[in-house]
Chain A
């Protein structure tokens, strides 16, 4: 090696020599799967969500009735929140979040989009995204024009 390349290597390269060993298994690597802010909870959470939305089995009437009860309960909570005076600025975001939860439950479970081919999700999602874009653009344009 020439003098320059020796200097280059000395400055920039670190031979391993035990300083850093390549991991033998994924879990012993620097970023093992499931490691994150919630640790292995994210993987367990996904597994739980899969099980509770009946995984690969066919949904039973009991499951659907359970979802219906949850939807009704969320509606009751929304109407109760309507009469709560102290929510202030949190009123609209909370209602929007509850409605979004109901929306996702009906679309994902009753319309079983969650279990259908991903192409359907893309088609519906594209329409939703366009609709939302029109919605946001109209509101922004109107409020910009009117101050």
Chain B
């Protein structure tokens, strides 16, 4: 896993250097100083940092032999990672509403490539953690309950993003509300199954598997630490290159 992380460092290093090379080179807007929202992204950065903390606590409890607490913290990590992804979806949609897409200008291309690949890494990590939690779940009824709860949570999140934040265009309004309510129903069904399951089987989790998942998750976090500093703090006040008026005039 360390060798893979080393290769991924090179991958993100090249994407970040591409972003920095094309800083202040866009001939038309929108530009970072018109569109980047640092306070909102600070919250998502904090959420991702706390997910790293949840991950390390999950590993601690699994190594201590408390697989149940370990599974709770794994689900907590996946939840916080999903909150981060929701922030990303919201932000990408806001940028699209302001006219910034990967095809608009150099800033759009490099920004969406960099943060999009990072978001893809986070998504894979969340899926990995959820699979780990599901695999470690005991009897069939508990597994079904956990699966339904997870499906319900994500349906609800997608519904909220679509209906209340208008972040998913096909789901704006009534469709989003329907999915949100379906998500709530699935979540309730899942919780019911979880609470009424016999819980007789001992829950086990492999510490080494979780450690490897944890390394991947922490790596995703440190990449975001670098991206947040470079893109959102250092380069947030970038505008048009010298000699070009704002708005391509």
Q: How far is the CA of A103 from the CA of B53 in the complex (A)?
A: 14
A interface SS class: helix
- Mark A105-117 against chain B: 1 for CB-CB distance below 8 A, else 0: 0110011000000
Near B by CB (< 8 A), chain A positions 104-147 give: 106-107, 110-111, 120, 123-124, 126-128, 130-132, 134-135, 138-139, 142
Q: Which residues of B contact A124 (CB under 8 A)?
A: 2, 5-6, 9
Nearest-neighbor residue (CB-CB) of A69 within chain B: B53
For chain B, the bracket of interface size reads: 35 or more
Q: Report how many A-B pairs have Cβ atoms within 8 Å.
A: 108
Q: Which residues of A contact B2 (CB under 8 A)?
A: 120, 123-124
The 8 Å CB contact of B229, one of A72, A96, A135, is A96
Q: How far is the CA of A135 from the CA of B226 in the complex (A)?
A: 13
- Mark A67-84 against chain B: 1 for CB-CB distance below 8 A, else 0: 110011001001100100
Judge whether B46 is part of the interface by a CB distance below 8 angstroms: yes
Instruction: Identify which of A15-23, A32-40, A57-65 touches chain B.
Output: A57-65
Q: Chain A nearest CB: distance from B94 CB in Å?
A: 19
Q: How far is the CA of A96 from the CA of B226 in the complex (A)?
A: 9
Judge whether A99 is part of the interface by a CB distance below 8 angstroms: yes
Q: How far is the CA of A71 from the CA of B3 in the complex (A)?
A: 26
Contact B45 A68 (CB under 8 A): no
B-binding residues in A (CB < 8 A) = 59-61, 64-65, 67-68, 71-72, 75, 78-79, 82, 91-92, 95-96, 98-99, 102-103, 106-107, 110-111, 120, 123-124, 126-128, 130-132, 134-135, 138-139, 142
Known: A64-B56, A135-B17. 6 other contacts (CB 8 A): A64-B60, A78-B233, A102-B222, A127-B9, A131-B9, A138-B18
